[in-house]
Amino acid sequence: MPNIKTMRILTGAAILFISAGSIAYYLMNVKKNEELQTNNSLPSIKPPVPGADLVFDEYSISPDSSMEIERTTGTLLQVPADCFRRADGSKPSEKIQLKVRELHDPASILRSGIPMEVAGTNGQHLQSAGMIEMHAYENGQELKVNAGKSIDIELAGFRSAEGYSLYYLENNQSWKVTDTFENKENARKKKRLAKLEKNTPLPDTSVYSDFIFSIDADTNARPELKPFINQSWQLIEHVDEQKLKRALRQNWSLAQIKAENKRKLEYKITFTIEGTGDDNKPIKESFTILAKPIFNKDMSKKNQRKLIEEKMEEYAILENQRIEELERVQKQADLVNSFKANQMGIYNIDKIMTEDMITSNIHFDFENELKGNKEEHQVFMILEENNSVIVIKRDSWNKMTIPAKRKFHFIAVLPGNEIAYVASDHIQGKLSMGKTELALSSQRKPADAYFKQQHTQPTGN
């Protein structure tokens, strides 16, 4: 009679596909505002490309309720109960629509039309480490934050915020330093990813023929494995004994099950380690075995196949949810900038741009294609590394200050929502020749193609 050993193979915890605790995660229920978001009463903010303004995400809040909103960027908004008031100071009585958008890259800043020039500084501009804009409405009427209330914000930080300040755009026209902020680690992201990397030690064992095992996992952390808890499996392939012993001593963090032969009830089970070792070097290792589920001897083969298929279908749904959640969390910023907002509007983690600049006389090949109104914001300098957008006025082209070392490019908004794009490499090539008078050639792209190419960070909910 074969010597049979039964083991429970333990797998580490994975990230929950629904956030735990008091955070109300509204990603699946957020209504996208597909209409163009404009500030018609605030002429200082004018999106330069009609129809390409960055849309807001919309959340519905009861006047007396609090809400915590976690966005895909990693930004967290904590809205207290009784947070809003009408313009006359009265309390809103109906549902409140909170509209939010984030700007983390130059393309988003450009699309929004939000100015980056600091009033009263003779042309100084801001470079951003993250921006958020918020508005609240009741039946289309804009609301303000109730006196004594504030919205706690952890704004995603995809860039270093060292030396930056918190600015607020007063009346959508003038940037003012408004308060301090705290730059800190995104603890929520770290905690969730740590659950995925958390390993459960496996017992040492000797290996015999007819090896039987089961998968043991924390189903609160690994809900996709719920269908297989208490399910026994039998190894049905030859595995090198030393290799299997070593595998059983590993601390696996993930188990995945895939059908190999449904008719014969044969399944491949893969155990995986993926993380970082003590020396900070990446670790990625997997071990796969072929096994078959063990059922009650009285159960027919037909019923066995039906039961395991039901388990596999449930597993597939839960596994997809886990993967989607993991991908969502991995996209979040590693840092957040924490502050309190006591009014609606635009907040920016900024600092005054300090760059070595040179003066050049610039000639563009699209000059004759621009509209006749010289006051229109049609030409922009995009500073990728500084995360800033500068409006270039026509009367400054013959004596334009441009970065001496940093990468930047120009764009012009032409009729028909076409973008004339002067690439950074083309500009740098001209500058390397030591010339101060530059004749620049542009590439042409539809506006949507340009913005798709330039988008580098998540800005949605």
Nearest-angstrom CA–CA distance, 210 and 208: 7
288 and 260 part of one domain: yes
Confirm whether 296 is domain-assigned: yes
Contact 345, 133 (CB under 8 A): yes
- Tell the burial category of 21 from Cβ atoms under 10 Å away from its Cβ (0-12, 13-18, 19+): exposed
CB distance 427 to 441 below 8 Å? no
Reference 272, options 262, 258, 260; nearest CA is 258
DSSP summary character for residue 272? E
Predicted pLDDT of residue 15: 26
AA letter at 282: P
221 and 245 both lie in a single domain? yes
Per-residue pLDDT of the chain (461 residues; tens, 9 = 90+): 344 444 455 444 332 222 323 333 333 333 333 333 333 333 458 888 878 899 999 999 999 999 999 999 999 999 999 999 999 999 999 999 999 999 999 999 999 999 998 876 677 899 999 999 999 999 999 999 999 999 999 999 999 899 999 999 998 888 999 889 999 999 999 988 877 555 444 433 334 446 788 887 778 777 888 888 888 888 888 777 667 766 766 667 778 899 999 989 999 988 888 777 777 788 788 888 898 999 988 888 888 888 888 888 888 888 788 788 888 889 999 999 999 999 999 999 999 988 888 899 999 999 988 876 555 668 999 998 899 999 998 888 889 989 888 889 999 999 888 999 999 999 988 888 888 899 999 999 999 888 888 765 555 55
Which run of H or E residues covers position 132?
A: strand 126-138
pLDDT at residue 204 in the model? 37
Residue 170: inside a domain: no
Which two tokens mark 129? 């480490």
Give the C-alpha separation, 423 to 435, whole Å: 17
Regarding whether 383 and 343 lie in a shared domain, the answer is no
- Residue finishing a domain among 270, 296, 330: 330
Q: What is the pLDDT of residue 456?
A: 55
Q: Do 61 and 152 sit in the same domain of this protein? A: yes
365/342 same-domain check: no
DSSP string, 93-111: -S-EEEEEEEE-SHHHHHH
CA-to-CA distance for 299 and 10, rounded, in angstroms? Answer: 27
What is the total count of domains within the chain?
Answer: 3
d(CA 291, CA 258): 10
Together in a domain, 62 and 112: yes
Please indicate, yes or no, whether residues 325 and 394 belong to a single structural domain of this protein. no
pLDDT at residue 355 in the model: 81
Cα 227 from Cα 216, distance rounded (Å): 11
Residue 396: CB partners within 8 Å, gap ≥ 6?
A: none
Residue 186 lies in a domain: no
List CB contacts of 60: < 8 A, sequence separation 6 or more: 31, 95, 96, 97, 98
Helices marked H in 38-96 — which ranges? none
Regarding whether 311 and 341 lie in a shared domain, the answer is no
Q: Are the CB atoms for 105 and 363 separated by under 8 Å? A: no
Contact 195, 14 (CB under 8 A): yes
In a domain, 25, yes or no: no
**Same domain membership, residue 142 and residue 101:** yes
Position 93 in a domain:
yes
* Shared-domain flag, residues 70 and 149: yes
In this structure, what token pair is assigned to residue 75?
Answer: 């930004």
Does one domain contain both 383 and 425? yes
**Residue 184 domain flag:** no
Whether residue 262 is contained in a domain is answered as: yes
Helix (H, G, I), strand (E, B) or coil at 128: strand
pLDDT at 217: 78
Question: Of 350, 379, 405, which closes a domain?
Answer: 350
pLDDT at 207: 40
Q: What is the pLDDT of residue 41?
A: 37
pTM of the model: 0.70
Distance CA 267, CA 292 (A): 6
Q: Round to whole Å and give the CA distance between 459 and 62.
A: 25
Task: Pick the last residue of a domain from 350, 379, 395.
Answer: 350
* 250 shares its domain with 134: no
Nearest-angstrom CA–CA distance, 195 and 181: 29
Q: Is residue 104 part of a domain?
A: yes
The domain of 204 spans 6-16+193-330
